[in-house]
Structure 1
Amino acid sequence: MESSLVYSQSQWDIVLASFVLAGFALFATFVYLLATRRELSPRYRPAGSAGALIGLVASAAYLLLTVSWLSGFDFDRSTATFHPSDSVLQFRNAYRYVDWAVTVPLLTFELLFVSTLTGARARKNRLVLGALAFLMIATGFLGADTFNSTTGRLVWGLVSTVFFVPLYVTLLRTAFRSARELGEPAGPSLRRAGLMLSWTWGVYPLAYCIPFFFADSPGWVVAAQLAFTLTDIAAKVGYGFFIHAVAKARTALDVSAGETVHPEDVYVDQVKVADARLVA
């Protein structure tokens, strides 16, 4: 649908600018989280690795979105509009779903790695929530791209919701319960991560439902693309930094308690919260 419409120059430019902004922000997040993994103890380092991988996969997806947006339309100087091109590489929202199929399960793992869940219970939650996340995205893709009629979108949207609701409730319950158990300084950051997840994940279903209430038009395509893109930045950049803050705070607590070693002093918000504890 997106690739068959005609866009004004300003509409086309806005979408392109949002894609480029998201790509840069996500790649910067990948570099930062990868470079700061050593600030975390081995116990919480998987959270940093998951966040870095999310940034890398998502930035690659936005590179593909950008290239397909550029190649999918030709500029008509006489009307200052962009028309569908004959290029093989057309713009498709399906590229987002390929990204989400990888990154959404990783978002759940990020939070679980810094939660208070341990042992078999933690492994079970990663398996169950990862599967729910993947199935939610896969069935949403069927409704948004493969069976993109009103009936198909409705049916597969409802099936996707069956996976979304238990995933959403369980993940938020885990975040807020763990935040209460952790207290200062890790608890507030984990609570903020949970709140960010709660509102960002609420935007995706709203954007999915736009075609039910509004006719296909360039304006609503631009609105949906901006909603998806800005929410991706919040859910993968902002959320990733909150999770990193939790992992760092928990590292400091473990070092202070003598439960783990760390080669350097640990700082949270420029305040030293634990001295270096070297291997004896």
Structure 2
Amino acid sequence: MEYITIASVPTELTANQFSLVYNAFSLCIAAMFAAALFFFNAKSQVGRKYQVAVIISGVVVSIAGYHYFRIFNSWEAAYALQGSTYLATEELFNDAYRYVDWLLTVPLLLIEAVAVLALSKEVARPLLIKLATAAVLMIGTGYVGEVADSITTRAIWGAVSTLPFLYILFILWTELSQAVERQDRRVKTLLNGMRFLLLFSWGVYPIAYLLPELGIAGATATVGVQVGYTIADLLAKPVFGLLVFSIARVKTQIDEAQVADQRPVTDTNGNRAEDLVGSTR
């Protein structure tokens, strides 16, 4: 099979194969921009100290929506319908947009996961530095493997990229666990769901990455990689953001209830209950 593009896209696809990827990109663009509208408008529904996390969610899906728009256009330009099949054109399919997107959005995803907890600066800052650094290393080394010419080189860099990924999971399940345990039961349940969603969605990426190494090549590998990455992005960005928003809402409700419990009780004239009791003695 001859390859002529940056992303090693095959020279020929069936109409169904081309349309599956085309429609997956289209769905993802709509989901990202719809999620952005929701997050930017929903930030007023959470407390001030949680708004940063919701705003970051909106920024993440906005960045992803833009890059998927570019990927969509590049895919469309890379093929032309000839009879019942799609043949590669002279236009290159630039899949590097994905890695530019991940380089920006993956650290932000980890930042919003920490930001929604509203931890003290002394606790949050070292966590953010560790997570962001590991995320950049994971994406950078993964890209080297993605554009490699041989399966062996791809496998080596894929293994290297796995190390910072495992370190991120270690941080999320150890150091962050201390903060999770101090949360309300409802928040704890949502936070555990958020961590497992991150694990599950990020687990899709290496599966798609490994398809060529598993002997799945040509059009099947191309479609599998593109659709797999797209599904993973949908889970890791808008769905993950919805979980972050849910956590922020619950924590806001808890904070409001605590404030209400501490507020002195007054009558209809604004007199405090303890003052009224004192006046009757």
The TM-score bracket by the shorter chain reads 0.7 to 0.9
Match of 2:212 in 1: 211
The 5-angstrom pairing of residues 92-111 of structure 1 reads 92-111=94-113
The alignment's TM-score, normalised by the length of structure 1, stands at 0.86
The 5-angstrom pairing of residues 97-176 of structure 1 reads 97-115=99-117, 117-145=119-147, 147-173=148-174, 176=177
**In the aligned structure 2, how far is the partner of 1:173 from the partner of 1:238?**
24
Match of 2:246 in 1: 245
- Residue 38 of structure 1 and its aligned partner are, at CA, apart by 1.2
- Residue 200 of structure 1 and its aligned partner are, at CA, apart by 0.8
- Residue 48 of structure 1 and its aligned partner are, at CA, apart by 0.5
**In the aligned structure 2, how far is the partner of 1:205 from the partner of 1:172?**
20
**Is the Cα contact below 8 Å between 1:115 and 1:174 reproduced in 2?**
no
2:93 aligns to what SS in structure 1?
A: coil
**Is the Cα contact below 8 Å between 2:10 and 2:222 reproduced in 1?**
no
- Residue 163 of structure 1 and its aligned partner are, at CA, apart by 1.1
Identity of aligned residues (%): 28
**Is the Cα contact below 8 Å between 1:29 and 1:55 reproduced in 2?**
yes
- Residue 170 of structure 1 and its aligned partner are, at CA, apart by 1.1
The 5-angstrom pairing of residues 223-238 of structure 1 reads 223-238=224-239
**Is the Cα contact below 8 Å between 1:64 and 1:95 reproduced in 2?**
yes
**Is the Cα contact below 8 Å between 2:190 and 2:247 reproduced in 1?**
yes
Letter in 2 for 1:30: A
Give RMSD over aligned pairs: 1.7
Which of 9, 13, 21 aligns to 2:15? It is: 9
**In the aligned structure 1, how far is the partner of 2:46 from the partner of 2:156?**
44
Which of 85, 90, 97 aligns to 1:86? It is: 90
Q: Judging changes above 3 Å, is the alpha-carbon distance between structure 1 residues 237 and 48 closer, same or farther for their aligned structure 2 residues?
A: same
CA offsets per residue over residues 105-138 of structure 1, 9 Å max, x none?
A: 0110111012364221211111110111011001
Match of 1:266 in 2: none
Q: Judging changes above 3 Å, is the alpha-carbon distance between structure 1 residues 175 and 128 closer, same or farther for their aligned structure 2 residues?
A: closer
**In the aligned structure 1, how far is the partner of 2:132 from the partner of 2:74?**
29
Letter in 2 for 1:109: I
CA offsets per residue over residues 210-243 of structure 1, 9 Å max, x none?
A: 1111242101211121111111101111111011
**In the aligned structure 1, how far is the partner of 2:56 from the partner of 2:175?**
18
CA offsets per residue over residues 138-193 of structure 1, 9 Å max, x none?
A: 11011102x33223212211221121111122124455554432123322222211
Q: Which moved further from structure 2: 207-216 or 196-205?
A: 207-216
Q: Judging changes above 3 Å, is the alpha-carbon distance between structure 1 residues 198 and 176 closer, same or farther for their aligned structure 2 residues?
A: farther
Q: How many residues align?
A: 254
Runs of 4+ with deviation above 4 angstroms: 174-177
The alignment's TM-score, normalised by the length of structure 2, stands at 0.85
Gaps of 5+ in 2: 1-6, 261-281
- Residue 40 of structure 1 and its aligned partner are, at CA, apart by 1.6
Q: Judging changes above 3 Å, is the alpha-carbon distance between structure 1 residues 125 and 148 closer, same or farther for their aligned structure 2 residues?
A: farther
- Residue 4 of structure 1 and its aligned partner are, at CA, apart by 3.5
1:258 aligns to what SS in structure 2?
A: helix
**In the aligned structure 2, how far is the partner of 1:174 from the partner of 1:36?**
29
Match of 2:186 in 1: 185
- Residue 76 of structure 1 and its aligned partner are, at CA, apart by 0.7
Letter in 2 for 1:163: P
**In the aligned structure 1, how far is the partner of 2:221 from the partner of 2:20?**
13
**2:53 matched to 1:52?**
no
**In the aligned structure 2, how far is the partner of 1:212 from the partner of 1:188?**
37
Which of 57, 74, 77 aligns to 2:80? It is: 74
**In the aligned structure 1, how far is the partner of 2:54 from the partner of 2:231?**
22
CA offsets per residue over residues 15-55 of structure 1, 9 Å max, x none?
A: 00000000100111111000011112121111001100011
